[in-house]
Structure 1
Amino acid sequence: MSSLHDPRYRALINKLRKIRESKGMTQVEVASSLKKPQSYIAKVENFERRLDIIELQDWLVVLDTKISVFLNISFEN
C-alpha cells in the first residue's frame, strides 16, 4: 500500500485541511505564503503529493499552529 493511502497519513492531511478551513484561509492564501502554486496545496489535500516533515512544519507556521499541538504531543518535565 502506498503511504499516500495509509489511513494515518490521510487523517493527518484531513486535519491539516480542517485547520486551514477553520482559519478561513483558501488554498491560494496558503500557497502564496509558502511561495508555491495553488496546485501544490490541492495535490497535497487530494492525496496526490506527500508532505515531508519540513513541509508540514512550514504549513503549520503559515496556519499559526504549533507542531506539538497539531500532533497532540505533551512535553512534560
Structure 2
Amino acid sequence: MPKTLRSPEHIALMGVLREARLTAGMTQAELAGLLGRPQSYVAKIETGERRVEVVEFILMARAVGRKPGEILREVEARNASKNET
C-alpha cells in the first residue's frame, strides 16, 4: 500500500477539515481545547505533518459541528473533481 501522508486524498482531507473549522468560526486553539489537545496538534493535522486516526477524525468533525460522513463526502468530491481535470 502506498504512503498516505501528503497524498492527494490526505491533502483534500486536510483542506476540508480546515475549512470546516473556519466555517464553524473556530481557531486552532479553540478546536484543540475542545479535543483536550494543544494547538500544535490541530496545526500539524492541517499542515499535513500528522495523520488523523479514525477516532480523532470523528471527534474533530463533531467538535466543528459536522457529521463525519459529510466531511468524507466533501473529500471524495474534491478528489473526483481533481481526477477529472
TM bin, normalised by shorter chain, reads 0.7 to 0.9
Q: Tell me which of the two structures has the higher relative contact order, counting C-alpha pairs closer than 8 angstroms and 6 or more residues apart.
A: 2
Shift of 1:2: 3.6
Q: Once the two structures are superposed, what CA deviation does each residue of 1:17-69 show, in whole Å capped at 9, x if it has no partner?
A: 00101111000000000000001011111110100111000101101101121
Query: Aligned pairs, how many?
Result: 73
The percentage of aligned residue pairs carrying the same residue is 37
Partners of 1:22 and 1:67 in 2: CA distance? 15
**Which of structure 1's runs of 4+ aligned residues deviate more than 4 A?**
none
Structure 1: 5+ residue stretches without partners: none
1:4 is paired with a residue of what secondary structure? coil
**Which has more helix, going by share of residues?**
2
TM-score with structure 2 setting the length: 0.79
Aligned to 2:79: none
Preserved CA contact (<8 Å) 2:24 2:65: no
2:19 is aligned with 1:4:
no
TM-score with structure 1 setting the length: 0.87
Aligned to 2:81: none
Aligned to 2:57: 56
